[in-house]
């Protein structure tokens, strides 16, 4: 089946899990279903098989959008769309249990790929729309798929604010940012790395007090995260104490590296002043190896700015990821040219990034469209070798064998795709199995 593009066998009505996550405001929440996680390649830590909460959304609205009115069964049971799972971690540092929401990339259980991780503050408010942005941008080849680890709040002011120079009766619990950062770095991250396939690249996203925390994390323990997205950060905190700390931080790190994307909306006053202050320090003191952006988003409010910032920031962070004309690059240099591109991306992000399955797949279908079935078979073979657990790679190679008139080989590949699709309950299982039936009929079986 064609990577991110519909094949001639695809069902245009099929919905992916995050299509409705983007429309979260229109969906009524309900208590998450409790399930026992099956043993799978993506969830192989010491707690595998223990009960976890699945974060689900009812499908009723999506069914109405996806099917013609006459085709909706009146008594059909709604099917939940699973956007992620909830786990609970006991923190010795914080002295409490902490719920955590985890979203995995589509098809993560069908590949051995390791993924970068985005740690998201105010997780109860931003989990669904952030996961949706990542799913969308990665599906069109604009960024890497990512694991999203979202942290709901218990005592928001305590966890997200640095210690005050003097007590403030308006914020009696303030000042626990160092402990919360220690919890993330020393307890949460090891848990995530032990239980999910993670690449050594971590992004921190925070809004308002969360943006303040993101800047504090950069200046306090810069080794923990590779990139920071600070959305309308409350840099007015403690009489802008972090601004003085930032100047000193960069002055003693002339060779420092990193990435910071900071925004502020049409908020004025101390919010704008703090952001402009940090931008001025970065302009004067940030080393050449430290990439930073400041965007004054005048059309956004403090409440509306997180979604647009997250989209823009991830697109900027992964600006070199996408290929504007992969077909032309492939025509000129074949798979080696694609591999060279992702090799350069690997050097930029500091870990090995293999040419994605979808990128290779689309080139195979490009060759099929040019009536070059034998060349397409060789391209699809590459995906089979690199992604042997993916049902889709066998279905695609089956298409190429079918086009070449090698029906027995096509049947064997469709059979493998259908079997793997059933094993993993793949969203395209019906397509894979229909292809098997079609080629069997073609063979007179």
Instruction: Determine the average pLDDT of the residues in 140-162.
Output: 97
What is the reported pLDDT for 43?
38
Sheet holding 198-207, edge to edge: 33-36, 51-57, 81-91, 96-103, 147-150, 115-120, 198-207, 227-231, 258-265, 290-297
CA atoms of 55 and 220, how far apart (whole Å): 33
Q: Could you give the domains of the chain? A: 21-317 (3.40.50.1820), 356-442 (1.25.40.10)
> pLDDT over 90 for what percent of the chain?
76
What is the reported pLDDT for 35?
31
pLDDT tier at 81 (50, 70, 90 boundaries)?
confident
CA atoms of 293 and 320, how far apart (whole Å): 16
pLDDT tens for residues 31-51? 333 332 333 333 333 333 333
Instruction: Determine the average pLDDT of the residues in 250-258.
Output: 90
What is the reported pLDDT for 315?
98
Of residues 417 and 268, more confidence is placed in 417
Task: Count other C-beta atoms under 10 Å from residue 374's C-beta.
Answer: 11
pLDDT tier at 112 (50, 70, 90 boundaries)?
confident
Does position 62 have pLDDT exceeding 70, yes or no? no
Does position 430 have pLDDT exceeding 80, yes or no? yes
Please, are residues 85 and 116 in contact by the beta-carbon 8 Å criterion?
no
What is the reported pLDDT for 75?
61
Inter-CA distances, 41 with 111, 351, 416, Å: 8, 20, 19
Instruction: Determine the average pLDDT of the residues in 421-434.
Output: 92
Q: Which of 1-5, 235-239, 302-306, 318-322 has the lowest mean pLDDT?
A: 1-5
CA atoms of 73 and 311, how far apart (whole Å): 37
CA atoms of 296 and 314, how far apart (whole Å): 17
What contacts 237, CB < 8 A, 6 or more positions away? 161, 162, 209, 212
pLDDT tens for residues 330-384? 999 999 999 999 999 999 999 999 999 999 999 999 999 999 999 999 999 999 9
Q: Encoding tokens for residue 31?
A: 């208590």
pLDDT tier at 1 (50, 70, 90 boundaries)?
low
What is the reported pLDDT for 53?
54
Residue 192: exposure state from Cβ atoms within 10 A (0-12, 13-18, ≥19): buried
What is the reported pLDDT for 23?
35
What is the reported pLDDT for 255?
86
Sign of the alpha-carbon torsion through 417, 423, 427, 431: positive
Q: Encoding tokens for residue 377?
A: 């078979």
Instruction: Determine the average pLDDT of the residues in 169-179.
Output: 95
Rg (the chain; Cα; Å): 24
Q: Encoding tokens for residue 379?
A: 């391209």
Q: Which of 50-54, 178-182, 264-268, 337-341 has the lowest mean pLDDT?
A: 50-54
What contacts 328, CB < 8 A, 6 or more positions away? none
CA atoms of 115 and 118, how far apart (whole Å): 10
Compute the mean pLDDT over every residue in the chain, rounded to the nearest whole number: 86
Q: What are phi and psi of 292, to 5 degrees?
A: -145, 150
pLDDT tier at 427 (50, 70, 90 boundaries)?
confident
Instruction: Please list the residues that pair with 150 across neighbouring strands.
Output: 101, 120
Please, are residues 326 and 340 in contact by the beta-carbon 8 Å criterion?
no
């Amino acid at each position: 089946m064609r990577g991110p593009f519909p094949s001639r066998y695809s069902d245009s009505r099929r919905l992916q899990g995050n299509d409705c996550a983007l429309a979260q405001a229109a969906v009524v929440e309900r208590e998450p279903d409790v399930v026992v996680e099956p043993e799978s390649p993506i969830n192989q830590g010491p707690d595998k098989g223990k009960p976890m909460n699945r974060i689900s959304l009812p499908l009723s609205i999506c069914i109405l959008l996806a099917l013609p009115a006459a085709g909706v069964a009146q008594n059909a049971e709604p099917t939940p769309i699973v956007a992620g799972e909830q786990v609970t971690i006991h923190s010795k540092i914080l002295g409490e249990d902490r719920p955590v929401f985890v979203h995995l990339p589509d098809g993560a259980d069908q590949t051995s790929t390791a993924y970068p991780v985005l740690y998201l503050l105010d997780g109860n408010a931003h989990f669904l729309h952030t996961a949706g942005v990542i799913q969308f941008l990665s599906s069109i080849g604009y960024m890497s798929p990512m694991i999203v680890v979202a942290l709901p709040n218990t005592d928001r002011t305590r966890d997200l604010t640095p210690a005050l120079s003097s007590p403030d009766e308006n914020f009696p619990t303030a000042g626990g940012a160092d402990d919360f950062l220690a919890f993330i770095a020393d307890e949460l991250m090891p848990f995530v790395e032990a239980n999910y396939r993670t690449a050594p690249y971590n992004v921190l996203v925070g809004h308002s007090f969360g943006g303040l925390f993101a800047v504090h994390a950069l200046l306090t323990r810069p080794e923990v995260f590779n990139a920071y997205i600070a959305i309308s950060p409350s840099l007015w905190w403690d009489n802008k104490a972090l601004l003085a700390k930032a100047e000193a931080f960069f002055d003693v790190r002339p060779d420092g590296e990193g990435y910071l994307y900071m925004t502020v909306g049409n908020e004025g006053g101390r919010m704008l002043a703090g952001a402009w202050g940090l931008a001025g320090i970065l302009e004067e003191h940030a080393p050449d190896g430290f990439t930073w952006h400041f965007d004054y988003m005048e059309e956004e409010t403090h409440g509306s700015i997180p979604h647009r910032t997250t989209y823009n920031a991830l697109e900027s962070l992964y600006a070199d990821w996408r290929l504007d004309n992969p077909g032309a690059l492939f025509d000129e240099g074949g798979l080696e040219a694609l591999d060279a591109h992702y090799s350069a991306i690997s050097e930029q992000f500091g870990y090995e990034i293999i040419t994605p399955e979808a990128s290779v797949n689309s080139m195979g279908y490009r060759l099929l469209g040019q009536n070059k079935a034998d060349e397409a078979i060789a391209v699809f073979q590459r995906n089979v070798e690199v992604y042997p657990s993916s049902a889709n790679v066998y279905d695609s190679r089956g298409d190429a064998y079918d086009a070449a008139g090698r029906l027995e080989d096509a049947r064997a590949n469709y059979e493998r795709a259908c079997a793997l699709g059933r094993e993993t309950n793949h969203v395209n299982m019906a397509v894979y199995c229909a292809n098997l039936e079609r080629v069997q009929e073609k063979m007179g079986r």
